[in-house]
Structures are given as structure tokens and as C-alpha cells.
Amino acid sequence: MDLLANLGLGFDTALTLNNILYCFVGVLLGTLVGVLPGIGPTGTVAILLPITFTFEPVTALIMLAGIYYGAQYGGSTTAILINLPGESSSAVTAIDGYEMAKQGRAGPALATAALGSFFAGSVATLLLAVAAPPLVNIALKFGSAEYFSLIVLGLIASVALAHGSIIKALAMIVLGLLLGMVGQDLYSGQPRFTFGFFELYNGINFVSVAVGVFGVAEILRNLESESTRTVLVSKVENLWLTKEDFRRIVSPILRGTGLGSILGVLPGGGHVLAAFASYSLEKKLSRNEAEFGKGAIEGVAGPESANNAAAQTSFIPLLTLGIPAHPVMALMIGAFIIHGITPGPNVLTDEPALFWGLIASMWIGNFLLVVLNLPLIGIWVKMLTIPYRMLFPAIVAFACIGTYSIGLNAFDIYAIVVLAIIGYVLIKLDCEPAPLLLGFVLGPLLEEHLRRAMIISRGDPMTFIERPISAGLLAVAALAIVLSLLPSIRKKREEVFVEED
């Protein structure tokens, strides 16, 4: 009954005209971002984060969340039509989706992606609603030692799941932690790493980091590698599925939903891992294994369900523990902070309308996405012909105006320029920026709980080992590092990410 009452509160909040409008705007922008290969959902959320400063907190979070899971939907369109995934987790969809399009079955492929995404997103949102309250009750019993160990586990897991070299991912975590330490010391007020700039006394602006490293740096990379897009079909027909198609996609959608729901909570790239794991599973279980890579509809149904389920369940650690499982979730934490809300288990008790309103909006958003994706497919096809060089000046200008509007401080714009250059250099060095953002967001929390735990224990570091939950979390973190270094695991990681590239 409590769940029904809480969902009632959530729908009362989400179904206001203003919140429905911005939910629609979010999923529309997310679909557009997914359709147009470019900056992706992380960069888009980073760029649009400043304009949400004037919104109500729940409205801002509903729109930003819509951009994220909307991009999971939209990414499949380009993956199927032009073999160019609009979002990283849609890379595996291109394997069979593009082959179906070449065979004149683009319509069924797009319909499969939309239906699988809708079902998986709806089920995973229900799982989020059911699982969140018990996890919040557990999290409320955590002390500083447990939170420190949990953050360590989150950072280590993000390294283990990161694209490419583990050493480079660790370096990005450390760089993010160092950037997060810029500013005045939490307890003494002593300035650190400010280099004489008074503007850095309050730390580096989160929005500047997000826009610079993810938004502008990604634009620079795309300008360098922009290629001509050839749209395979100018008009998509026969969107509905045959009975045989329905029979073949039911089990993959169910399995993908379950797999994605579990893997989505993993820090780093759970949604990407879910899509590839689902594809591998379907290939092993299918009676039509020979069709995989040649247009198997199961190869679209499973991964699309998995990545959308993972997109929804990645909100579980954010809403219950205040720990981001993905760079977009780190940006969502930034949105919480901008609006004066401390992310974590207290959100459920302090801001129940926001908590449940955000969850309820995901069902609304998933419904809107089905309405948007199939009837408007002709518009999305035409959008693919827009040259990227015509889009990026407006994107950069919009990002700078939005960032400046938050604090009316020109220093934030200069910071974007510097951080964009740093981000571009890191990309050229094959260093993934995602762990950097996670380190930047979690660094201050890590330091705060470390120092608080040491103060409570009178300087005894054994407090992290003597407390059972803390010791267990640290043990899992150590195991994650060991497993990621094993030759067989490293080989599997390389195979997955080579396929994605």
C-alpha cells in the first residue's frame, strides 16, 4: 500500500502540465541527440544543465533524465539506418539492425527497438520504485566509514568497466580527484591548488568541467573525424511486425530486460556492458545463430531492451546512495547540488515529491518516446542529412551562455576553454574522460567521509576494517581490481570494446 501511495504522489507531481511539457522536451532532445551522432547524452546534459537553474528542482531532473533515457531510444535509429550508433550502447544494435535495413526490413527493426525499449524501460522503472525504499533504509544506517568504502568501490568498479587501459582509467580517476580538491579546505578553510586565483576559492565550477571536458572537447573530436553520412533508406515502411517476428522477439526482450536491470547499477558503463552481454547471450541461446551478423531480429530486440533497462536502473544508486553509476548520473548529482539538494538517502524523506515524481515521470517519458519514435521516423531520417559543421557553432554558443548565466562570472567561460583543450588532449591520448568526471564529483565526498571517519575513530585507520560493512565493500573493491587484471578478463574487455569501436 505504501508503494501505491508513493506512486500516487509521484504521478500527482509528474502529471502537472509544466512537468509533462519538460518531460516531453527532455525525451525529444534525447531522441534528437541519439539520432544525430555527435556529443551524446553526457555532453547534451552538461550543456543544458545551466538552463535548468531557473526551473523547479523536480522539473529540472525530469527533463535531464528524459534526455538520458531518450538518447538510448534515439541511438538505435542511426545504428539501424546508417550503421553509425548515436549512443555507445547502441553500437551492438548496428550489427544486425543495419543488415535488416539492407534487406528492406528497416521498419521491423525500428519497431523492435521501440517496443523492446518501451517494455524494458517500463519494467525497470517498476523495479526502481520497488527497490529504492529498502535500499534507502539500509543506506540511512551507513556511517562515514561505510560511505568512504562504498565510494572507493564505485570508483574502482568504474575503472574495471572503463573503455581501454585500466592504468589510464586509474589516472583519470586520480586527475578527477585532484580537480575536486581545488578550493578551500573543508575544515580549515585553507586554499588548495588555487594558484592565486580568487575565483578558484570555491572550487572549479562543476558545469565548466562538464561542458568543457564532455561537451566542447567531444565537438572538437567530431569535427576532426566528421564523415559523410549515407542514409540507407529515405522512407521507412512496414513498421509493424509479423507474427513470426513477435514470436522471435518475446524471449530476447524478457532476457534483455532482466540482464539490463541487473547490470545497469554497475558504475562506469553498465548500459554498454548490458547491451553486449545481451547480444552474446542471445547468440548462444538462439536457434538461428547463423543469422546473427546477417540480420537476426533477436540481435536488435535483446540489446535494445538491455540498454534501456540499464538506463532506468542506473538511477538506483543515484537516488538511494547518492553515488553515480554513469557520467550522466554524475551530472544529475550536479543538478541536485545546483538546486540546493544533497543527493543521497535523505532525498526520499526530505523531498518525497521530487523522488517519486522523478520515478513516475519515467513511465510518462517511455510512453512519449514510443509516440515520438515511430510516427516521426521520417523527420529523424531527414535530420541525418544536416552537416555537423552547421550545428556546432550554435551548440558552443548556447553552452557558454548557459554556463555564464549561472554565476555571471566570465572566469567560468575561460575555464571551459582550458578544460575543453585538456579534454581533447585526453581523448587523443585514448584516455576516457568518464572516470575523470566520476572522480571529480565523488572526490569531495570521499575526502569528507574519510576525514570524518578518522575524526570519529580518533585517527585509527582500522575503523575501515573493523566495521563489517565497510570491510566487505573494500574487499569487493579489491576483488574487482584483481579480476580486471586477470588475462582472461582483460581479453574479454578488449574484445567488447573493440567491437564497440
The yes-or-no verdict on residue 228 having pLDDT over 70 is: no
CA 69, 177, 495, 77: dihedral to nearest 10 degrees? 20
pTM of the model: 0.73
Do residues 67 and 33 make contact, with C-beta atoms less than 8 angstroms apart? yes
3-class secondary-structure state, position 172: helix
Grid cell in block for residue 341: 539538494
**How many whole angstroms separate alpha carbon 299 and alpha carbon 301?**
6
H/E stretch holding 240: none
The yes-or-no verdict on residue 72 having pLDDT over 60 is: yes
The yes-or-no verdict on residue 39 having pLDDT over 80 is: no
Do residues 267 and 154 make contact, with C-beta atoms less than 8 angstroms apart? yes
Residues 6+ apart with CB under 8 A from 243: none
**How many whole angstroms separate alpha carbon 472 and alpha carbon 486?**
21
**How many whole angstroms separate alpha carbon 308 and alpha carbon 147?**
28
24 pLDDT band, cuts 50/70/90, is very high
For residue 387, CA distances in Å to 131, 227, 384, 399 come to 44, 10, 8, 19
The yes-or-no verdict on residue 379 having pLDDT over 60 is: yes
Residue with C-alpha cell 541525418?
384
Burial class from Cβ neighbours inside 10 Å (0-12, 13-18, 19+) for residue 386 reads exposed
Q: CA angle, 227 as apex, 210 and 106 as ends, to 5°?
A: 95
**How many whole angstroms separate alpha carbon 177 and alpha carbon 462?**
23
H/E stretch holding 267: none
Residues 6+ apart with CB under 8 A from 314: 264, 265, 270, 271, 325, 326, 328, 329
End-to-end Cα distance, the chain:
47
Do residues 163 and 426 make contact, with C-beta atoms less than 8 angstroms apart? no
Residues 6+ apart with CB under 8 A from 462: none
Do residues 112 and 301 make contact, with C-beta atoms less than 8 angstroms apart? yes
Residue with C-alpha cell 532532445?
29
Q: Angle between the 434-456 and 144-160 helix axes, to the nearest 10 degrees?
A: 160
**Domain ranges (residues) in the chain:** 2-500
For residue 58, CA distances in Å to 84, 351, 357, 491 come to 34, 9, 7, 43
Q: Phi/psi of residue 192, each to 5°?
A: -130, 135
Grid cell in block for residue 228: 559523410
**How many whole angstroms separate alpha carbon 22 and alpha carbon 362?**
12
Res 235: pLDDT: 57
Q: What percent of the chain lies above the pLDDT cut of 70?
A: 83
* Reduced 3-state DSSP string for 72-139: HHHHHHHHHHHCCCCCHHHCCHHHHHHHHHHCCCHHHHHHHHHHHHHHHHHHHHHHHHHHHHHHHHHH
Mind listing the pLDDT tens digit for each residue in 109-156? 888 888 888 888 888 888 888 888 888 777 777 788 888 888 888 788
3-class secondary-structure state, position 286: coil
494 pLDDT band, cuts 50/70/90, is low
499 pLDDT band, cuts 50/70/90, is very low
CA 281, 302, 107, 24: dihedral to nearest 10 degrees? -160
The yes-or-no verdict on residue 301 having pLDDT over 70 is: yes
Question: Of 241, 370, 355, 218, whose CA–CA distance to 308 is shortest?
Answer: 370
H/E stretch holding 192: strand 191-192
Among the residue ranges 187-191, 234-238, 250-254, 315-319, the one predicted with the least confidence is 234-238
The yes-or-no verdict on residue 86 having pLDDT over 90 is: no
Highest mean pLDDT among 85-89, 107-111, 190-194, 249-253: 249-253
Res 486: pLDDT: 65
Mind listing the pLDDT tens digit for each residue in 231-261? 555 556 666 778 888 888 889 999 999 888 8
More confident residue, 371 or 8: 8
**How many whole angstroms separate alpha carbon 232 and alpha carbon 82?**
6
